[in-house]
Amino acid sequence: WFSLCLLSFSSSIPPVDDIYNHNGLLLSHAQWISLQSDTDIQSILFSLACQRLYRALATNENDIDSKLIENLLELSSFSSTTIFDQLEPFFDFLSKTKQYKLIKLFIKQIIENPNIDRSWFISNEDRLRLIVQASVEYAIETNAHNDSQPKKRRKIDFEDNIDSFYDYLQTKSCTIDGKIISLFSSINFDSIHTCGILISIGWLALNISPVSLESMQILLDIIHTSKILPSLFINHLLNFTLNTNNEKMIDQVLIIISNNTNYQLILKIKVNEILNEMKINEDYQNIRLLEKYLLLFSHSRLLISSNDLCLIIDRLLNSSSHSSISYSSLDTRYILAMIILNSLLSFDKYLKFLQQTWKSIIREINETNHLKHVVIAYAKQWEYVLKLNSTMDDINALVKCLNDQYDLISKIIQSIDHNQFQQWIENITQYIKIPLEDQEEDINNCRQAFQLLQTLSHCSLNKENNLYLLTKINSVITQCGSLLTHLPIEYSRYNEVVSFVLSFANDVLITKKSQLRSQVALSLLQCCLHLPMNILFLQHSNICKLVSLLIKYHTITLCKHVPTVETIIKLLLQSIVIQAKENQQKQENLIEAARDITKLSAHLIEQCKEDFRSTIVYVLIDYVHLLSKGVFLSPALKKTLNGVAFELFRISGERVEQYSGQISIAERELLKQLHQQFKQYHMFKGII
């Protein structure tokens, strides 16, 4: 029966009496279910359904039953090829009308089933055009409400005048499901030549509810193209963006619009609308608007007259209402300071206000970091506002707050003379005390001193200041070993202190590399030998990173201190086994620590294999000794720990057997088993 059907559908002469009903249901639902359980005929069913689709397309595509498409999708899971693989050979030879009809039939399933491979539909612009057209019509048909025009079908035509085409789309008030937009998330929008496709996808993204990062990124990619898009679309996109809480998105959109001469007028009109609204608003309303549109005023400062904005600022400065009531998340003075610094080309008349406000900011910086944006605004205009009157306390506060804004900090520090810089660094390092008292204030001051030095190590300083800073950092790292070894075991924040000291050392090693004195960094490594086992385990990541950085930037020095490195690996392995025995850590944490040691061991092979070859075997023997004590290790943890042993075998080579006589019979057997596993599974298969 199936053969007969297939012959019938492949014949160029249709049967006289079409008893097979090409466009209806091939079989009843019950028959489909019963046949689909038979694996021998599933592929035949799929092929038959595809044949029915071909025949329908060849005769009258308007009569294709939607249930035929459902049958196809249902059966495609039983075939090694997809529906779209079946369509590929003949799709491009169909007329545009039939291609579009086919896409329209599949669009709901494509949108509803994210598992379908969608790359086929966006492989070229012709196919993309069809899928966008179908998506827009599907969105309008299924989601449109309260249209401003009578419901009248209109064909989506990308060749229309682009402005009138977008005007038409705007008559359709839609709330669109986010599943539609995911179709277009992987498109290279720069390669699209048809503006209608861009604004159609943009229209879909603007009407997505709820707003998603995916839709925002698509909108950003669309306006980033070189195409000139309709003013109405840019205006809607601007309003949409300003109403999101995504500061990064707002900033990027405003940068693109303000730098594009075709769109600058839109930005200017928007700012003037807000300023006109503010002229009749109450003070508290204006404070909220200024906070909401901080970035908008900043990016449009070259496009508008500052007179209107100055009138609003003056009114708020002379108002007494904001002094006692907070109408926003920030103090009103700070909002006004940011507006003045970011949005006005000249702020001489507000200099006194800005300097007084800065004094208030300094008092609050130590308590919270929510003033970072305000401090950045001051830093950008430092030369004009505070340079002449600034003190080292001002610069200290600024560096504390902007600990990742290295370019801004560098620019400000350039203006400090060498004597001032030296005195400042001396004042910073006085808080690194030995012994460090177990007092919250002392610990916080010590941590801030390390963080400040760490920040400065990233900055571009003049030669004299840079040389002095490097000397001071070497001196501080020399003190770190003593600082850690003098911490009593009962110290309440022991792990916190070790963490910020090791983080500082690692960060400075990354930034200064071989400029840092090798012996200085190594002294810190030696102090790790004296850390308690639980702290050693908790700091495994920092310690492994420290050793790796020394291997990378101070190889020669490290290779002269092989026993120190081997002892650290022994202690790290021991700390994992002890934590496993005492059941104090989650399995994931134990496995992560073992992986860190594996990476460290692999790094030793790359850089220092010959230096460690003769003695690394003692680390293996120590590890075997730990295992022989009968500590229960989960299979996953044991497998990861064995990975460390395998890396060490790669260093030691065949020397293991020479030392096996020095250990007990049980340990010798364990070592032998590990070595056999290494030879069998690891030796010739590269690094795991």
Considering the domain boundaries, does residue 305 fall inside one? no
pLDDT interval class at 543 (50, 70, 90): very high
Q: How far apart are CA 363 and CA 133, in angstroms?
A: 58
Domain that holds residue 24: 1-91
Contact 232, 167 (CB under 8 A): yes
pLDDT interval class at 233 (50, 70, 90): very high
Average pLDDT (506-525) is: 83
* pLDDT greater at residue 60 or residue 99: 99
Q: What is the DSSP string of 172-229?
A: --B-B-HHHHGGGTT--GGG---HHHHHHHHHHHHTBSS--HHHHHHHHHHHTSSS--
Mean pLDDT, the chain, integer: 82
Average pLDDT (353-358) is: 92
The 3-state DSSP class for residue 351 equals helix
pLDDT interval class at 164 (50, 70, 90): confident
Residues recorded for the chain: 688
Considering the domain boundaries, does residue 593 fall inside one? no
* pLDDT at site 13: 42
Q: Considering only CA atoms, which of 299, 360, 297 is closest in space to residue 330?
A: 360
Average pLDDT (546-552) is: 90
**Highest mean pLDDT of the ranges 28-37, 41-50, 57-66, 312-321:** 312-321
pLDDT interval class at 346 (50, 70, 90): confident
User: What phi and psi values does residue 208 have, to the nearest 5 degrees?
Assistant: -70, 140
* pLDDT greater at residue 2 or residue 372: 372
* pLDDT greater at residue 121 or residue 216: 216
* pLDDT greater at residue 53 or residue 535: 535
Considering the domain boundaries, does residue 40 fall inside one? yes
Helix (H) or strand (E) holding 501: helix 494-512
Cα radius of gyration (the chain)? 35
The 3-state DSSP class for residue 686 equals coil
Q: How far apart are CA 51 and CA 87, in angstroms?
A: 11
Average pLDDT (263-290) is: 92
State percent of the chain over pLDDT 70: 79
pLDDT interval class at 330 (50, 70, 90): confident
For residue range 107-117, list pLDDT tens digits in order.
Answer: 877 777 766 77
State the helix-helix crossing angle for 440-458 and 418-429, rounded to 10 degrees.
140
Q: How far apart are CA 481 and CA 519, in angstroms?
A: 12
The one-letter code for the residue type at 365 is I
Tracing tokens 């025009």 back to the chain, one arrives at 149
Considering the domain boundaries, does residue 16 fall inside one? yes
Q: Could you tell me where the DSSP H helices lie in 281-350? A: 283-292, 294-299, 306-318, 321-324, 332-343
Pull the structure tokens for residue 523.
């002294």
Contact 184, 218 (CB under 8 A): yes
* pLDDT at site 606: 80
Confidence (pTM): 0.75
pLDDT interval class at 162 (50, 70, 90): confident
pLDDT interval class at 67 (50, 70, 90): low
For residue range 363-419, list pLDDT tens digits in order.
Answer: 887 656 678 899 999 999 998 998 888 888 888 888 888 888 999 999 999 888 899
Lowest pLDDT segment from 81-95, 265-279, 306-320: 81-95
Considering the domain boundaries, does residue 228 fall inside one? no
* pLDDT greater at residue 465 or residue 12: 465
The count of structural domains within the chain is 1
Lowest pLDDT segment from 189-193, 421-425, 488-492: 488-492
Lowest pLDDT segment from 59-73, 423-437, 646-660: 59-73
* pLDDT at site 221: 93
Query: Exposed/middle/buried for 539, CB within 10 Å: 0-12, 13-18, 19+?
Result: buried
Considering the domain boundaries, does residue 29 fall inside one? yes
Q: How far apart are CA 666 and CA 625, in angstroms?
A: 9
Beta carbons within 8 Å of 415's beta carbon, 6+ residues apart? 383, 387
Helices then strands (H, E): number in the chain?
38, 0
User: What phi and psi values does residue 278 have, to the nearest 5 degrees?
Assistant: -70, -25
Q: How far apart are CA 162 and CA 198, in angstroms?
A: 10
Distances (CA, A) of 449 to 16, 229, 473, 500, 567: 93, 52, 11, 10, 31
Q: Considering only CA atoms, which of 87, 83, 69, 58 is closest in space to residue 26?
A: 69
Q: Would you say the C-alpha torsion 285, 290, 293, 299 has a positive or negative sign?
A: positive
Q: Residue 176 forms beta bridges with which residues?
A: 208
* pLDDT at site 177: 78
Q: Would you say the C-alpha torsion 152, 157, 158, 162 has a positive or negative sign?
A: negative
Average pLDDT (238-260) is: 92
Beta carbons within 8 Å of 315's beta carbon, 6+ residues apart? 283, 286
Query: Exposed/middle/buried for 420, CB within 10 Å: 0-12, 13-18, 19+?
Result: middle
Contact 525, 564 (CB under 8 A): yes
* pLDDT at site 21: 44
Q: How far apart are CA 560 and CA 608, in angstroms?
A: 10
Cβ count within 10 A of residue 360: 14
* pLDDT at site 675: 82
pLDDT interval class at 129 (50, 70, 90): confident
Average pLDDT (179-193) is: 86
Distances (CA, A) of 18 to 8, 13, 310: 10, 11, 82
User: What phi and psi values does residue 175 have, to the nearest 5 degrees?
Assistant: -115, 110
One-letter-per-residue 3-state SS of 319-330: CCHHHHCCCCCC
pLDDT interval class at 151 (50, 70, 90): very low
Pull the structure tokens for residue 199.
């604004």
Q: How far apart are CA 252 and CA 254, in angstroms?
A: 5
Lowest pLDDT segment from 260-269, 353-362, 462-471, 619-628: 619-628
The one-letter code for the residue type at 152 is K
Tracing tokens 């690996």 back to the chain, one arrives at 569
Considering the domain boundaries, does residue 169 fall inside one? no
Distances (CA, A) of 665 to 538, 620, 638, 668: 34, 15, 21, 5
* pLDDT greater at residue 514 or residue 360: 360
* pLDDT greater at residue 507 or residue 155: 507
The 3-state DSSP class for residue 386 equals coil
Q: How far apart are CA 307 and CA 305, in angstroms?
A: 6
Residue 172 has, within 13 A of its CA and on its CB side, a CA count of 26
The 3-state DSSP class for residue 144 equals strand
Q: How far apart are CA 221 and CA 202, in angstroms?
A: 10
